[in-house]
């Protein structure tokens, strides 16, 4: 289990890799508004957990485990974001900021229940498949098509 702070680094690395094709310390620092030494410390912590490959001054690459965890983190964020934006009708920018804060302080059990509620209210799917954010079986459910990049 990694800290919420490292989850944020991992999530942003995944987004940068999807967007740019590669991950650089400078890009992470700019995206997260932090220093390069902070990014380096986080990278080495993530490397110790087996979530990234990295050699000093080299490229940063997510391991398969790192990619899977980053997807789970993004999915949980999306669920909270959808609740705030589409159920509570918060403006998009406020929903984004609030989702970041809320996601970092709730458990997977709460995310699971929130996902079921959000999908029921928005009519996306019933999630009668015993949705669990930690299981792969629901990756093809309608909730995947909701994310806007």
For residue 42, give the CATH number of its domain. 1.10.10.10
Residue identified by tokens 């949980």 is 76
pLDDT tens profile 72-84: 888 888 889 888 9
If asked whether residues 31 and 89 sit together in one domain, one would say: no
Mean pLDDT of 4-29: 92
Q: Is the pLDDT of residue 5 over 60?
A: yes
If asked whether residues 93 and 141 sit together in one domain, one would say: yes
| Residue ranges making up the domain that contains 37 | 4-62
Looking at residue 148, its pLDDT comes to 44
The strand pairing partners of 62, in sequence order, are: 52
If asked whether residues 105 and 47 sit together in one domain, one would say: no
If asked whether residues 18 and 79 sit together in one domain, one would say: no
Q: Is the pLDDT of residue 139 over 70?
A: no
CA distance 19 to 1: 26
Question: Of residues 137 and 12, which shows the higher confidence score?
Answer: 12
Domain count, the chain: 2
CA distance 135 to 46: 22
Collect all residues with Cβ–Cβ distance below 8 Å to 79 and sequence separation of at least 6.
111, 114, 115, 118, 143
CB 61 within 8 A of CB 53: yes
pLDDT tens profile 27-63: 999 999 999 999 999 999 999 999 999 988 788 999 9
Both tokens of residue 13? 């690395």
């Amino acid at each position: 289990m990694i800290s919420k702070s490292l989850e944020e680094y991992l999530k942003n690395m995944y987004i940068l890799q999807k967007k740019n094709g590669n991950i650089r310390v400078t890009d992470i620092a700019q995206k997260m508004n932090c220093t390069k030494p902070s990014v380096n410390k986080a990278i080495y912590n993530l490397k110790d957990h087996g979530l990234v490959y990295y050699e000093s001054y080299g490229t940063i690459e997510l391991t398969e485990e790192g990619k899977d965890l980053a997807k789970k983190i993004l999915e949980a964020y999306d669920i909270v974001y959808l609740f705030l934006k589409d159920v509570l009708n918060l403006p998009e920018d406020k929903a984004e900021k609030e989702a970041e804060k809320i996601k970092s302080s709730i458990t997977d059990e709460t995310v699971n229940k929130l996902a079921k509620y959000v999908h029921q209210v928005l009519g996306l799917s019933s999630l009668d498949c015993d949705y669990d954010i930690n299981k792969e079986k629901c990756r093809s459910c309608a909730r995947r098509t909701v994310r806007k990049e």
